[in-house]
Structure 1
Amino acid sequence: MKAYTKNSTAVNSFLSTSRNRDVALTMARSNAERHDRTDVELVVFDIEMNINCINDSKMAPYADISNRSNFSEEVEVLFMPGSVFDLIDVKFDEQDRVWIVTLHLTCADSPVLTYIKQQLPPRTCLSHISAILYDMGQFDRAEQLLLELVNNSINSVELYDQLVAVKLAKSDYSSALEYIKKGLNHRMAMLSSSDLYKSYKLFGNVYKVMDNDEIAMDHYSIALGLLLSYKDKNLLAVGDVHLQIGLLHWKAGNLQSATRSFEDSLRFKQVALGKRDPEVARILMNLGVIANQQDKYERALEFLVKALDIQLEMLPSDHYDVAQTYNHIGLVYAQCDKQDLYLAFAHRSVTIELSLLPLAHPSRAELIETVEEIRSLESLWTMNASLHKVLFSERLATLLNR
């Protein structure tokens, strides 16, 4: 987290805080105790704000709800979704044995907040709440609210798009397709609409989930054609559609076509996002995996090492994407008969995956067993006896086939 100081972050749900530092410390400790975790670090967020700056704005993004709470002793202050904070400092409090992360509430007229608002799609307050409900997994409640909004909205295209996402989450594909059609009709009625491609991309997404890959490809191709026809091109959207087309080619076993689509996606996303973005790293990882499947091992490692370099800079070192890239690098080395390097990268990958799983997760036992097997194989590798080499080869083959 220290690496992200001087950066900004936004919350996508309500943030409950307390004006009493002791309450925050007690909650941090009780959460760790309740989940019986001794392998976690305690963190308390210390939020600062410029009262004058907030008072000058039309609406403060927080409210003191102490008088309305059932737990008035908590002296609760509630921040609204979308609140933006600058990450000022991270330090360890030796006395309380807790990490203190200092945040500063961003002023309403700050350049950072203005930029973030420009990147967000226009939404009413209620449609934003429906998006929050969706993120929380409350799909039925999100759908109910969206349906109420659709019936009382002049421009309901965005609402239909949100309903598509809800229906996809509920695996109700026929309803998802119906809402896409309704959204498409609205967009076609707006002759100057520059987001007509969105409906065709959504069609592609649904048909892809339904395994109707040929129909999905047709709709992605229409979306791509529309995007490329616009005078002001949405480079990120073009990159996204190229990526989806590449994934379909890959699934069909058309590795050369998949590579071309991923390379096109990479080109557009590097311009839109910069060359050091995690999304760029994921495409590089895909290109590396395909190159490995084509027995182009040096090229595979080139792509995968580039992906890993970006991920280690831009993501936490224990991020799932990092684990995936470690795993794929290891598999390339396994193909090259460099078993010691395979084991080293496999060990890193499985260790990260294990750290991300809750203690009660059913997959933990299998991952722990895999870690122990890798350690055992690493020990065998250091032995020179031919009998051990034979045993090593047999057990390594079993591990690779898991």
Structure 2
Amino acid sequence: MGEYSKAISSYQRSLEIRKIALPPNHPDFAQSYNNIGLVYNNMGEYSKALSSYEQSLEIRKIALPPNHPDLATSYNNIGLVYNNMGEYSKALSSYEQSLEIRKIALPPNHPDLATSYNNIGLVYNNMGEYSKALSSYERSLEIFKVALPPNHPDLATSYYNIGSVYSHMGEYSKAISSYQRSLEIRKIALPPNHPDFAQSYN
């Protein structure tokens, strides 16, 4: 917790300096609020994280063109907090706004699009809407397959998430197949004591 407090105070100092040096809606302010939100989210202080991310978004709306990728990042981060808070419909709405911007701003196989589909899948999974979760996770996987090297850890995560949905749906042979693919990639991509292995073996 001490490291988080140091990070917050460092980012807040940076913000104070920027307030003196920069015009009021400069994009660097948005970055400062975004960084503070990130730390609060990691601390589990979700209302503070949300407030910081929303301040970041408001500045970006003024400072940037309407389909700038940084706006998508803001919506994505807000979605992340809502998901952590269990406010799934708000999370879904934020993630979908992020995805719409990314579809316009980024090439069709950009990894950030895959991340958006993965996050939407995560929310549907949390809501128990497994067929929608599966569809989103599969879209994410297809993009990752094109965008990333064949044994990238994000591919392992995709296969694991798909396995998790199949398991919830009672399709255990498909679940096992996806989990095994995830484990194979993790064996290649990660050191043997990496915490993701515990997830794979569970």
**Shorter-chain TM band:** 0.7 to 0.9
CA offsets per residue over residues 269-322 of structure 1, 9 Å max, x none?
Answer: 221112311111011011112212222122111111111111111111211111
Other-structure match for 1:175 = 10
Task: From 144, 152, 157, give the equivalent of 1:324.
Answer: 157
Indicate if the aligned counterparts of 2:121 and 2:136 stay in contact, CA closer than 8 A.
Answer: yes
- The CA deviation at 1:195 is 4.1
Contact in 2 for aligned 1:243/1:261 (Cα 8 Å): yes
SS in 1 for 2:128: coil
1:362 aligned partner, one-letter code: N
Matched, 1:304 2:137: yes
Counterpart of 1:362? 193
How far apart are 1:214 and its partner, in Å? 1.1
> Against the structure 1 CA distance between its residues 296 and 197, is the aligned structure 2 distance closer, same or farther, given a 3 Å change threshold?
same
Please give the residue correspondences for 1:242-261 in structure 2 after superposition, counting only pairs within 5 Å. 242-261=75-94
The 1:223–1:308 alpha-carbon spacing in structure 2 relative to 1, beyond 3 Å, is same
> CA-to-partner distance for each residue in 1:91-134, whole Å, 9 max, x for gaps?
xxxxxxxxxxxxxxxxxxxxxxxxxxxxxxxxxxxxxxxxxxxx
In structure 2, stretches of 5+ residues that fail to align are none
In structure 2, the partner of 1:262 is 95
SS at match of 1:275: coil
**What is the distance in 1 between the residues matched to 2:17 and 2:137?**
42
Is the alpha carbon distance of 1:211 and 1:183 closer, same or farther for their aligned partners in structure 2, counting shifts above 3 Å? farther
RMSD: 2.5
Secondary structure of 2:184 counterpart: helix
Cα distance in 2, alignment partners of residues 279 and 317 from structure 1: 17
Distance 1:231 1:311 in 2: 28
Indicate if the aligned counterparts of 1:281 and 1:307 stay in contact, CA closer than 8 A: yes
Deviation at 1:213, TM superposition (A): 1.9
Question: What secondary structure sits across from 2:99 in the alignment?
Answer: helix
Retained in 2: the 8 A contact 1:176–1:206?
A: no
8 Å contact 1:184–1:199 — kept in the other structure? Answer: no
- Asked whether the 8 Å contact 1:177–1:206 carries over to 2, the reply is no
Equivalenced residue count is: 198
Structure number with the bigger relative contact order (C-alpha 8 A, sep ≥ 6) is 2
Query: 1:282 aligns to what?
Result: 115
Evaluate the alpha carbon distance shift between residue 306 and residue 172 of structure 1 in structure 2; reply closer, same or farther with a 3 A threshold: closer
Which residue is 1:239 aligned to? 72
How do 1:106-145 residues align onto structure 2 when only pairs under 5 Å count? none
Alpha-carbon distance in structure 1 between the residues aligned to 2:18 and 2:42: 19
Matches within 5 A, 1:374-389: none
TM-score normalised according to structure 1 size: 0.45
Change (3 A) 1:362 1:184: same
Judging changes above 3 Å, is the alpha-carbon distance between structure 1 residues 343 and 191 closer, same or farther for their aligned structure 2 residues? closer
Larger-Rg structure: 1
- CA deviations 1:173-207 (Å, max 9, x no partner) are 323322232223322xx367454322322332233
CA positional deviation for 1:171: 5.2
Identity %: 25
The offset of 1:363, in angstroms, is 4.6
Distance 1:203 1:185 in 2: 18
Candidates 162, 183, 190, aligned match of 1:350: 183
* Aligned equivalent of 1:333: 166
CA contact (8 A) 2:4 2:39 kept: no
Gaps of 5+ in 1: 1-167, 371-401
Asked whether the equivalents of residues 159 and 181 of structure 2 are also in contact (C-alpha less than 8 Å), the reply is yes
Contact 1:227 1:234 in 2 (8 A): no
Distance 2:107 2:151 in 1: 23
Structure 2: distance between partners of 1:229 and 1:204: 19
Read off the aligned partner of 1:325 and give its amino acid letter.
S
Give, in whole Å, the separation in 2 of the partners of 1:174 and 1:231: 27
Distance 1:327 1:194, change over 3 A: closer
Amino acid at match of 2:193: P
| TM-score normalised by L of structure 2 | 0.86
Aligned residue type for 2:190: L
Return closer, same or farther for 1:347/1:290 CA change in 2, 3 Å cut-off. same
Question: Contact (CA 8 Å) 1:242, 1:262: kept in 2 or not?
Answer: yes
Change (3 A) 1:194 1:308: closer
